[in-house]
Amino acid sequence: MNTGDDMQSTIDTISTIFGVSEVRKRNDLLYFVTAPKKMLPSLLLHLRDRERFTHLVFFTAVDYIENGQFQLTYMLHNYSTGINLAVLVFIDRDNAEMESIHTLWKQARVFQQELREMFGITFPGSPRIEEDFALEGWQNMPPMRRDFNTREYAEATFFPRPGRTSENPREYMKKKLYPDEAHNV
């Protein structure tokens, strides 16, 4: 079976029907494509039912704060060819909302619950979306957003133990091993 030709025809199809762009091939078994936001559910349905990408491997987000966008990554797997296909979608960062895909894969509900908590992306209609996932009673900005200052928050909240200093190893060892010469350098 020539998986490369199969994949090429798949990409041709989804490019024509769903307006998929920026096809990047990392290696024989890993492809990245970018899809328009509106076409995504029908594209995933097509990939699942027609192109045998039956497994949702993971579903996550990346915060591109410079562009004011979140990148959602839907990683699909085809068991018959072994090919992974990542479908990327860019959504607006300020009004982060995306169509839920829990009707296509049940387990997407959990990913969406986590994305709501960690990035503040809402998925209307996703079951139990408002429940706490890993954080309980979190009252701050979603912590995986890049404008959340993790270190500042940790230092204000968690009683940092004083005395944490770091030395330049080169200078430190010079002073320690050759104390007489340290002042000459």
Contact 116, 98 (CB under 8 A): no
Any contact of residue 159 with other proteins (CB under 8 A)?
yes
Write down the least CB distance from residue 65 to other proteins, Å: 17
Any contact of residue 143 with other proteins (CB under 8 A)?
yes
Write down the least CB distance from residue 136 to other proteins, Å: 5
Q: Rounded CA gap, 60 and 38, in Å?
A: 18
Any contact of residue 128 with other proteins (CB under 8 A)?
no
> Closer to other proteins at the Cβ: 163 or 179?
163
Q: Rounded CA gap, 46 and 116, in Å?
A: 26
Write down the least CB distance from residue 63 to other proteins, Å: 14
Any contact of residue 41 with other proteins (CB under 8 A)?
no
Q: Rounded CA gap, 89 and 74, in Å?
A: 8
> Closer to other proteins at the Cβ: 22 or 159?
159
CA atoms within 13 A on the CB side of 173: 2
Q: What is the CA radius of gyration of the chain?
A: 23
Any contact of residue 134 with other proteins (CB under 8 A)?
yes
Write down the least CB distance from residue 39 to other proteins, Å: 35
The residue from 42, 150, 173, 181 that contacts other proteins (CB under 8 A) is 150
> Closer to other proteins at the Cβ: 157 or 184?
157
Strands (E), the chain: 21-27, 30-34, 55-64, 69-77, 84-92
Partner residues linked to 156 by β-bridges: none
> Closer to other proteins at the Cβ: 57 or 141?
141
Any contact of residue 166 with other proteins (CB under 8 A)?
no
- Find the DSSP H helices in the chain: 3-18, 40-49, 108-119, 150-157, 169-177
The number of residues in the chain equals 185
- Where do contacts with other proteins occur on this chain (CB under 8 A)? 132, 134-139, 143, 148, 150-151, 153-155, 157-161, 164
